[in-house]
């Protein structure tokens, strides 16, 4: 009896299995066709290059992310691919029975990690110069694409304090030597023409936009080298004239921006402080070691901000440099009981993301009350790289890997190095050219959205500020697939997956199961060289 039951059961299971297979096979053909169509049918006005495809935007037209437009319990997948799909949306329905899948991803919202604060980009001089080279309406489109909720929904704006490598020239806000009181402090035309107008435009699209300032260098006369560019540290030591003058310089910066109605959420103590000791370094920099940064914050910057009207609520970020410096840098600064109360978080750059995740894990373990925020990332900055690589899918993949690796290791946000660059990857007075998610083409009043733009969108558009990263695990180890999962404050869930497989045959059928909701399974295709975001609307049962 029992065995007969088993035979019948096996037979039924076999039939279901076969049906499942054939259905999957059938779907595979359909879905391949869908992907092919997606390449052409999306709203992207595509232009093809050797390394991939960009989307062209003009005064008349710019592609938008399709609205979610799903009801409770439904889910949608958004897929972008090397083949040309850009945020291609498909509604999917949960199934009771577990469908066939080549990959099974289990998410567990009972296991929660860090809270995601959001994503951002940088109001560099280069970005402003390029925005200004476009017709006003098109510059507004760029800002809307980045900062509106229907676009990348960026939450952060990094603002260089005076000039950086992505400026047209080297300048500080006070080049008058020995003016310790900062009586000659002045914002420059770069602030008034290239930064403030676009920060204000971004605030119109996101009223909660959080700005953080970051200096590349103190005025040259305060430095050991008497030059803003190149290596060098602040002259003297914590608590002296130079250090007090420099904190006044920070406060004056906040005051001047406040006059334009712009207040800051945070300040980074120094962009890449380790650059300041590199004798080959040509760009603006100021050396801090973890020790001198600790002392500067403790004796000068922290108390000065707390004592100022404009700075009392401004958070302080430390490090703002690559992960290799962690956890040592954070330990040195934050183990000091007098320095730590002034600090809110740790800034991290992405240029050593291939190094071990332990740098981040240990930092979080040692300092769980301090957030780690990605403050700078870019592609194409290497001396041997093509600065702007039109349509590069490799760079979109790198960007996704980079963000996933950070978010899976306690990082709460991620910031791009420039909003928009020109076709050379600048301007940069020091020829530190790089790629950017948007490239300006003023001659035709156009801009190109690189695949990197969509790479960021796959996270930033869906993961809302306040979301938490939740546990996720794949049933098999698949080196070409990377993923992460998040629970939004409204209960919706977001899964981001990338398939870096270069062969068509590496397409996966992914089945997502939520441990909190055993009845529902979500099945979708993850084609080769593609990024998919699965968005599961809040369900109430």
417-436 residues in contact with other proteins (CB under 8 A) are: 422-424, 426-427, 431
Q: Which is nearer to other proteins, 47 or 226 (CB)?
A: 47
Q: By C-beta, is 62 or 330 nearer to other proteins?
A: 62
Among 119, 156, 171, 441, binds other proteins (CB under 8 A): 441
Of the residues 99, 303, 324, 442, which one makes contact with other proteins according to CB under 8 A = 442
Please give the DSSP secondary-structure letter assigned to residue 301: I
Residue with Cβ nearer other proteins (203 or 282): 282
The nearer residue to other proteins, 217 or 418, going by C-beta atoms, is: 418
Is 440 a binder of other proteins (CB under 8 A)?
Answer: yes
Please tell me the distance from the alpha carbon of residue 97 to that of residue 513, in angstroms, as a whole number. 11
Peptide bond connecting 134 to the previous residue in cis, omega within 30 degrees of 0: no
Residue 346: which of 336, 354, 364, 299 has the closest Cα?
Answer: 364
Residues 106 to 135: which contact other proteins by CB under 8 A? 126, 129-130, 132-133
- From the number of C-beta atoms within 10 Å of its C-beta (0-12, 13-18, 19+), residue 525 rates as buried
Active site residue 480: no
Can residue 280 be called a binding residue for other proteins (CB under 8 A)? no
Which of 1, 443, 476, 477 touches other proteins by CB under 8 A?
443
Q: Which of 21, 33, 47, 519 binds other proteins (CB under 8 A)?
A: 47
Nearest to 77, CA basis, from 67, 99, 93, 92: 92
How many residues sit in the footprint of other proteins (CB under 8 A)?
Answer: 22
Quote the least distance from Cβ 200 to other proteins, whole Å. Answer: 20
Residue 444 binds other proteins, judged by CB under 8 A: yes
- Tell me: does residue 168 bind other proteins (CB under 8 A): yes
The contacts of residue 452 (CB under 8 Å, 6+ apart) are: 379, 392, 395, 396, 399, 435, 436, 437
Q: Which is nearer to other proteins, 126 or 531 (CB)?
A: 126
What is the token pair recorded at 279? 């004798």
3-state SS assignment for residue 89: strand
Q: Does 191 bind other proteins (CB under 8 A)?
A: no
| Order of strands across the sheet that contains 468-474 | 88-92, 75-81, 530-536, 493-499, 481-487, 468-474, 103-115, 508-514, 517-526
Which token pair is 530?
Answer: 């593609």
Joined tokens for residue 500: 């870096």
156 binds other proteins (CB under 8 A): no
Residue with tokens 């062209």: 56
Shortest separation between residue 48's beta carbon and other proteins, angstroms: 8
467 contacts: CB under 8 Å, gap ≥ 6: 115, 116, 486, 487, 488, 489, 494
The distance of closest approach from Cβ of residue 145 to other proteins in the complex, given in angstroms and rounded to an integer, is 18
Of the residues 64, 98, 291, 376, only one is catalytic, namely 376
CB of 132 or CB of 306, closer to other proteins: 132
Contact positions toward other proteins, by CB under 8 A?
47-49, 126, 129-130, 132-133, 168, 388, 390, 422-424, 426-427, 431, 440-444
* Residues assigned a catalytic role: 376
């Amino acid at each position: 009896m029992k065995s007969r039951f088993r035979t019948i059961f096996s037979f039924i299971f076999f039939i279901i299995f076969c049906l499942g297979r054939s259905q999957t096979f059938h779907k595979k053909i359909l879905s391949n066709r869908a992907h092919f169509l997606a390449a052409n049918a999306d709203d992207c006005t595509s232009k093809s290059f050797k390394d991939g495809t960009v989307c062209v935007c003009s005064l008349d037209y710019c592609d938008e992310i399709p609205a979610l437009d799903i009801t409770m319990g439904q889910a949608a997948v958004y897929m972008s691919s090397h083949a040309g799909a850009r945020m291609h949306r498909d509604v999917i329905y949960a199934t009771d029975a577990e469908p066939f899948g080549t990959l099974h991803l289990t998410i567990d919202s009972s296991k929660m990690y860090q809270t995601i604060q959001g994503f951002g980009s940088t109001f560099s001089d280069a970005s402003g110069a390029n925005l200004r080279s476009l017709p006003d309406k098109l510059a507004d489109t760029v800002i809307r694409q980045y900062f509106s909720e229907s676009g990348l929904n960026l939450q952060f704006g990094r603002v260089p304090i005076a000039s950086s490598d992505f400026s047209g020239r080297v300048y500080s806000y006070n080049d008058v030597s020995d003016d310790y009181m900062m009586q000659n402090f002045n914002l420059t035309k770069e602030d008034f023409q290239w930064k403030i107008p676009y920060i204000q435009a971004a605030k119109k699209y996101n009223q909660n936009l959080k700005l953080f300032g970051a200096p590349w260098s103190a005025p040259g006369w305060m430095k050991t080298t008497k030059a803003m560019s190149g290596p060098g540290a602040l002259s003297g030591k914590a608590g002296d004239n130079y250090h007090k003058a420099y904190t006044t310089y920070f406060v004056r910066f906040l005051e001047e921006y406040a006059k334009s109605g712009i207040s800051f959420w945070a300040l980074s103590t120094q962009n890449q402080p380790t650059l300041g000791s590199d004798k080959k370094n040509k760009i603006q920099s100021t050396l801090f070691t973890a020790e001198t940064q600790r002392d500067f914050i403790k004796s000068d910057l922290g108390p000065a901000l707390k004592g100022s009207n404009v700075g009392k609520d401004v958070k302080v970020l430390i490090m703002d440099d690559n992960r290799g410096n962690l956890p040592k840098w954070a330990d040195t600064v934050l183990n000091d009981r007098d320095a730590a109360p002034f600090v809110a978080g740790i800034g991290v750059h992405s240029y050593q993301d291939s190094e071990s995740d332990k740098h981040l894990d240990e930092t979080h373990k040692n300092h769980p009350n301090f957030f780690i925020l990605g403050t700078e990332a870019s592609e194409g900055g290497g001396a041997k790289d093509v600065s702007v690589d039109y349509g590069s899918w490799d760079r979109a993949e790198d960007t996704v890997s980079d963000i996933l690796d950070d978010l899976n290791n306690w990082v709460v946000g991620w910031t791009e190095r420039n909003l928009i660059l020109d076709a050379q990857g600048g301007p940069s007075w020091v020829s530190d050219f790089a790629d950017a998610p948007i490239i300006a083409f003023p001659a035709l009043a156009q801009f190109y959205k690189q695949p990197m733009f969509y790479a960021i969108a796959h996270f930033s558009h869906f993961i809302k500020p306040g979301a938490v990263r939740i546990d996720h695990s794949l049933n098999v180890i698949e080196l070409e697939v990377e993923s992460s999962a998040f629970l939004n404050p409204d209960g919706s869930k977001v899964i981001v997956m990338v398939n870096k497989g270069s062969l068509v045959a590496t397409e996966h059928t992914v089945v997502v199961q939520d441990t909190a909701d055993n009845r529902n399974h979500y099945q979708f295709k993850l084609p080769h060289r593609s990024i998919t975001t699965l968005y599961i609307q809040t369900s109430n049962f």
